[in-house]
Copies of this chain bind each other. A is one copy, B any other.
Amino acid sequence: MRVKDEIKQNAIIEATVALVNEIGFASSSVSKIAKRANVSPATIYIYYKNKDDLLVSTYIKIKTCLGEALMGDFDPSLPVHDTLMNAGAELFNYITKHRELFYFAEQFANSPYSDLVEKAQIEAAFQPLFELLQFGIDQKIIKDAPFELLLAHLYHPIFNLVNPRLNPHFKATQKNIDLAMSMAWDAIKL
């Protein structure tokens, strides 16, 4: 018998992301995705249970990747400040290099599809960051606030700024990014 074809699966994922970015979430039908991936609609149902599964799986994959990119190389010997700023730079890097994936994830997270995701699964990928923040709080370097609050000020502005749908005029220059990160630090530092 034939064996599942990784090339095919990747083509499906890429087609999904690309199409969603081009024509949006609601208009991206299974058959359009299939056509884009040069695959039969039925083939998609070999790799995914249904359309929801396809989208959710793609989102989780992206999000997990992002987590790894962000926190893959936390250096415990560095000061908290430096590590967080590095991660911010890394985040910006990742987004710039994988714009397609990022846009898809943003659109997904703000859509009702997001409700289908086991949130804990994603939070797990960000565990190291939580631990670092806790350490910063304990060391009285960072304000003693819930994680969500800290993250909302630390990284979310970047997410927001870098999204052309939300900030069409923003220029993602190095200077602006540095500025954004330094403002973020001002927000959370004690």
Chain A 14-73 residues near chain B, CB threshold 8 A: 23-27, 40
By DSSP majority rule, is chain A's interface helix, strand, loop, or mixed? helix
* Contact in complex: A180, B165 (CB < 8 Å): no
14 contacts between A and B (CB under 8 A): A25-B26, A25-B112, A26-B112, A110-B166, A143-B183, A145-B183, A146-B171, A149-B161, A149-B170, A149-B179, A152-B157, A153-B180, A157-B187, A186-B187
Q: How far is the CA of A9 from the CA of B1 in the complex (A)?
A: 20
With beta carbons under 8 angstroms apart, the residue of B25, B170, B183 that contacts A153 is B183
CB neighbours (8 Å) of A187 from chain B are 153, 157, 183-184, 186-187
Instruction: Mark A73-116 against chain B: 1 for CB-CB distance below 8 A, else 0.
Output: 00000000000000000000000000000000011011111110
CB neighbours (8 Å) of A189 from chain B are 186
Q: How far is the CA of A166 from the CA of B119 in the complex (A)?
A: 10
* Contact in complex: A179, B145 (CB < 8 Å): yes
Question: Chain A: residues with CB nearer than 8 A to chain B?
Answer: 1, 23-27, 40, 106-107, 109-115, 119, 143, 145-146, 148-149, 152-153, 156-158, 160-161, 165-171, 176, 179-180, 183-184, 186-189
